[in-house]
Structure 1
Amino acid sequence: MTKLSVNINKVATLRNARGGNNPNVVRVAQDCQHFGAQGITVHPRPDERHIRGQDVLALAPVVYTEFNIEGNPDERYFELVKAVKPAQATLVPDAADVLTSNSGWDTVTHAAYLRQLIQDLKAAGAGRVSIFVDPVPEMIQGAAEVGADRIELYTGPYAEQFHTDPKAAVAPYTACALLAYQLGLGVNAGHDLDLHNLKFFKQEVPHLLEVSIGHALICDALYYGLANTIQMYLRQLS
């Protein structure tokens, strides 16, 4: 079964909009796990507009499933990895001013940089390192060559095309997942996956180990409740 890691950034966004500690991101992470989530994902950005560095430190003792820290590997990110030693560190090439992640790494152009990053993250205590990539075979090959343990396929383009041509939308992901498996890479996926497109993606993409879902899941929880929503997503993956 593909694991569901719940990204709780949007919970922190809601908290930050009002100040204080409501909703409590630590309590939400605990509840997500209690309700069946097999991991918790956070993506602390430099401006701390949602998850803050202090949140990451506070979450570390309570995440007993799998803690995944995403982010652009700046000095602050490295300090958090050193302090927390997460099960997974996911490298995302976010510019400082982007609203949300919108592209993967060029693992060929930045091969030397990524190779050193992965070595440093492992030395800092990351259990494994995943690289956020577009569904392009050359980028998958490059991820294997720099020593990544996994890739996370950027599924934004899939979600955009799904409603008009699902077969065409998923085809590059199927091919890249097969290639990754052949190269010894684990396969994760994330971005704009939801209750409408997740089941088809899971059916068509082989060797899918984990999906990270935040925005859509938290939006659905407003209508269905958090416990029920997590179970609905897990059913799409079963």
Structure 2
Amino acid sequence: MTKLSVNINKIATLRNSRGGNIPNLLKVASDIQDFGANGITVHPRPDERHIKYQDAYDLKPVVVTEYNIEGNPIQKFKDLVLEIKPTQVTFVPDGEDVLTSNAGWDTIKHQSYLKDIIAEFKEAGIRTSIFIETDLNLIEAAATTGTDRIELYTENYAAEYVKGNKEAIQPYVEAAKLAVDLGLGINAGHDLNLENIKYFKQNIPNLAEVSIGHALISESIYLGIENVVNLYLDRLK
């Protein structure tokens, strides 16, 4: 079964909009795990507009499943992750001014840089993953960095799926097959939702984990978070 890691950034956004501690981020993370999710993901950004750096520390004893911290490995982020030692760190090449992650790594251009930071995190016993698009040359280059996994950036698949274009899955299938041949684990995320996740899961070989936040929390407004977590788990079987 593909693991479901729930990104709780949007819970932090709601909390921050009023100040105080409602909703309680730690309680939500604990409950989501009790509801059956296999992991918790956070993405602290330099401006701390949703997840704060202190949240990442506070979540450490709360996350008893898999803890995934994603972000651009600037020095402050590196220090945070190396101190917390989560299950996994996912490298995302976000600029400081981006609203949400909108591109994967150029693993050819940044080959040397990625090798160095991946070696540092792996030495600390942290599983590594690179957020990446489906270009096969970039997948091959990712394999030479020493990373354990890649995370396929699925925005294009999601955008085409809603139009009825299921052929948009094909680049992801080819990327996944190559990744498997190269010994890489496969994660995926961005705009996956209850409508498109089952078809994605059915077609991607060796899909280890999906990280879902915005859609899952939005769907929970109507359906309830416990129900939604279990709907995802059912689709990921």
The question of a shared fold, defined as TM-score above 0.5 by the shorter chain, is answered with yes
Q: Which residue of 2 aligns with 1:47?
A: 47
Q: Which residue of 1 aligns with 2:80?
A: 80
Displaced runs of 4+ in structure 1, greater than 2 A?
Answer: 163-167
Given the alignment of the two structures, is residue 151 of structure 1 paired with residue 143 of structure 2, yes or no?
A: no
Answer whether contact 1:42 1:69 (CA < 8 A) is retained.
yes
Runs of at least 5 residues in structure 1 that lack an aligned partner in the other structure: none
Q: Deviations over 1:170-194 (max 9, x none)?
A: 0000000010000000000000000
Distance 1:114 1:83 in 2: 19
Distance 1:76 1:10 in 2: 22
Answer whether contact 1:71 1:77 (CA < 8 A) is retained.
yes
Distance 1:66 1:166 in 2: 33
Q: Deviations over 1:75-103 (max 9, x none)?
A: 11111112210100000000000000001
**Aligned-pair distance for 1:126?**
4.6
**Aligned-pair distance for 1:135?**
0.9
Distance 1:51 1:139 in 2: 29
Given the alignment of the two structures, is residue 167 of structure 1 paired with residue 163 of structure 2, yes or no?
A: no
Answer whether contact 1:89 1:126 (CA < 8 A) is retained.
no
Secondary structure of the structure 2 residue equivalent to 1:194: coil
Answer whether contact 2:160 2:166 (CA < 8 A) is retained.
no
Q: Which residue of 2 aligns with 1:101?
A: 101
Q: Which residue of 2 aligns with 1:62?
A: 62
Q: Which residue of 2 aligns with 1:223?
A: 222
Distance 2:173 2:140 in 1: 15
Report the RMSD for the aligned CA atoms in angstroms: 0.8
Answer whether contact 1:81 1:126 (CA < 8 A) is retained.
no
Q: Which residue of 2 aligns with 1:112?
A: 112
Distance 1:208 1:70 in 2: 18
Distance 1:47 1:187 in 2: 29
Q: Deviations over 1:125-156 (max 9, x none)?
A: 35210000001111110110111100000001
**Aligned-pair distance for 1:166?**
3.5
Answer whether contact 1:190 1:211 (CA < 8 A) is retained.
yes
Distance 1:13 1:84 in 2: 22
Q: Which residue of 2 aligns with 1:34?
A: 34
Q: Which residue of 2 aligns with 1:187?
A: 186
Distance 1:59 1:227 in 2: 20
- Whichever residue aligns with residue 20 of structure 2, its letter is G
Answer whether contact 1:186 1:209 (CA < 8 A) is retained.
yes
Secondary structure of the structure 1 residue equivalent to 2:4: strand
Structure 1 residues 199-210: aligned runs within 5 Å: 199-210=198-209
Given the alignment of the two structures, is residue 232 of structure 1 paired with residue 235 of structure 2, yes or no?
A: no
Q: Which residue of 2 aligns with 1:140?
A: 139
Distance 2:49 2:25 in 1: 14
Distance 1:14 1:196 in 2: 24
Answer whether contact 1:2 1:211 (CA < 8 A) is retained.
yes
Residue correspondences, number: 237
- Whichever residue aligns with residue 121 of structure 1, its letter is F
- The two structures have a TM-score, normalised by structure 1, of 0.98
**Aligned-pair distance for 1:15?**
0.3
Distance 1:95 1:23 in 2: 28
